[in-house]
Structure 1
Amino acid sequence: LRGGLLSWDGRLTDDARLVTAIARTAAARGARILTRVRALRLTASGARIRDELTGEEGEIRARVVINASGVWAGGLVDGIRIRPSRGTHLVLRADHLGPLPAGLHVPVPGETNRFVLVLPQGDGRVYVGLTDEPVDGDIPDVPEVPETDIGFLLDVLGSVLDIPVQRDDVVGAFAGLRPLLDTTPGEHSGAAPRTADISRRHAVLTSPDGVITVVGGKLTTYRRMAEDAVDAAVATHRLTAG
């Protein structure tokens, strides 16, 4: 080790609390929040939806429709191709790693711009992540963590530890799917680019019939993503912005 950088800007957000806070803020501004409802079909003037608890279907009418459905966006609007990418985190106990006053950035062997992050939490847990693996076929509602992801993260972590962490030391794991926009023209010629090499920048797209879609992006840019999507809706449908 020849040097290091100590900072406090990478602290994780409780994503569940963030979603709840945004929904409550929207409701306070007059929004109607519907949970456990699946969008089946979108048009510029509304959506066909299904209540996942009762199975009842119905129509929602709207002046503007914004498709912000992540990895499912391509199934609701024609012409949008998504390359889902699985990101896995492991959950370890801090006592298996020793005292960690700060997080670690561990270079992935053989890569020039990929790292595994070791992020200590305030409750004695440590998150280790994350992977970048393409997901083919049907998109699961809850992505599962394969043993290959766990083995990869443990191998990278072990490359910098005197005493490697064992599989039995993993007390949990979770994964999410990145909605990466596939921008390759037409059919792929030759090997498709790795999901790790696809841009994380978000994109706001407007379909020929006026549905606004926002895809890509990251948690850290969610406010800018929302702003750009709303700006596109206001411009496309000539709305009056408050």
Structure 2
Amino acid sequence: TAAARGAVVLTRVRALALTGTGARVRDELTGEEGEIRARAVINASGVWADGLVDGIRIRPSRGTHLVLRPDCLGPLPAGLHIPIPGESNRFVLVLPQDDGRVYVGLTDEPVQGAVPDVAEAPETDIGFLLDVLGSVVDVPVRRDDVVGAFAGLRPLLDTTAGTGASARTADISRRHAVLTSSEGVVTVVGGKLTTYRRMAEDAVDTAVRVRGLAAGP
């Protein structure tokens, strides 16, 4: 959509540093570095956002989904919401697809250490989801019924530091936040896939206001 409206999209280019009026970047294929100038800069780099702007603390959380082979659960005319044992407001979703495959997810696990470029689904996540599923279905679902798994990372804004609140990523708010640095960089973090349009709107509105830009309706 952005490219169709005239935006220039640069792939395989890494942002090294941001200011309110530009970015220092590096071509990951050639190693060449350069400057990009702009009237406004929005940091929407997800789980890497705190590496580009000071004063932001991100708690990455891994969410894993499984793909089960067709018919391993028998006829499944509707999806399921399975309460996670010991939790008051967390569920595992079981979502049948038109081709017979079934999606099962998702986890909420903190990412320890360096944030990976590509999230992978570990066996611990796969086992956890199979155990929760097995707690409510009569048909045994085995590891070889899993034909695929995929994972993503949530860029949760950590507001618990120094508060004594729970350190679990599952307890961190999913609400998005739009923050402006002292240099004028607008950062958007948090949120969910279902709120991406509101996140984009809030980030752009903030950039227009902070940088004094003219904008149409």
TM-score (norm 1): 0.86
1:239 maps to 2:208: no
1:188 shift after superposition: 6.4
- 1:55 maps to what in 2? 31
Q: Distance in 2 between matches of 1:30 and 1:45?
A: 20
Contact 1:90-1:150 at 8 Å conserved across structures? yes
Deviation beyond 6 Å, 4+ runs, structure 1: none
Deviation at 1:181, TM superposition (A): 0.1
The 2-side partners of 1:26 and 1:95 are apart by: 40
Q: Which residue of 167, 181, 185 maps to 1:193?
A: 167
Deviation at 1:67, TM superposition (A): 0.1
Q: In structure 1, what residue type is equivalent to 2:171?
A: D
Alignment deviations for residues 155-200 of structure 1 (CA, whole Å, 9 cap, x no partner): 0000111122011111111110000000124x465x7421111100
Q: Residue 29 of structure 1 corresponds to which residue in structure 2? A: 5
SS of the residue 1:94 aligns to? coil
Q: CA deviation at 1:111?
A: 0.9
Shift of 1:39: 0.9
In the alignment, structure 1 residue 205 sits paired with structure 2 residue 179: yes
Q: 1:122 to 1:54 in 2, by over 3 A?
A: farther
Which residue in the other structure is 1:225 paired with? 199
Structure 1: any 5+ residue segments left out of the alignment? 1-24
Structure-2 residue corresponding to 1:41: 17
Q: Which has the higher contact order (CA 8 A, sep 6+)?
A: 2
CA deviation after TM superposition for structure 1 residue 55, in Å: 2.0
For each residue in 1:94-126, what CA deviation from the matched residue of structure 2 results, as whole angstroms up to 9, or x when unmatched? Answer: 210111111111110111110000111222221
Asked if the contact 1:48/1:60 (under 8 Å) is kept, the reply is yes
Q: What is the aligned partner in structure 2 of residue 16 from structure 1?
A: none
Structure 1 counterpart of 2:88? 112
User: How far apart, CA to CA, are the structure 2 residues paired with 1:53 and 1:123?
Assistant: 39
How many pairs align? 216
**Alpha-carbon contact 2:62-2:111 (below 8 Å) kept:** yes
Q: Report the 3-state secondary structure (helix = DSSP H, G, I; strand = E; otherwise coil) of the residue aligned with 2:23.
A: strand
Q: Deviations over 1:180-235 (max 9, x none)?
A: 000124x465x742111110000000001100000000111100000000110011
Q: Which residue of 2 aligns with 1:134?
A: 110
Amino acid at match of 1:178: R
Gaps of 5+ in 2: none
| In structure 1, C-alpha distance between the alignment counterparts of 2:8 and 2:153, rounded to whole Å | 27
How large is the RMSD of aligned CA atoms in angstroms?
1.3
Whether the 8 Å contact between 1:94 and 1:100 is mirrored in structure 2 is no
**Contact 2:22 2:40 survives alignment (8 Å):** yes
SS in 2 for 1:63: coil
Distance 2:61 2:171 in 1: 11
Q: For each residue in 1:134-172, what CA deviation from the matched residue of structure 2 results, as whole angstroms up to 9, or x when unmatched?
A: 012100011121111111000000011112201111111
C-alpha contact 1:157 1:164 (8 A) present in aligned 2 = no
Scaled by the length of structure 2, the TM-score of the pair is: 0.96
Do the aligned partners of 1:94 and 1:120 also contact (CA within 8 Å) in 2? no
Distance across 2 between alignment mates of 1:111 and 1:45 = 46
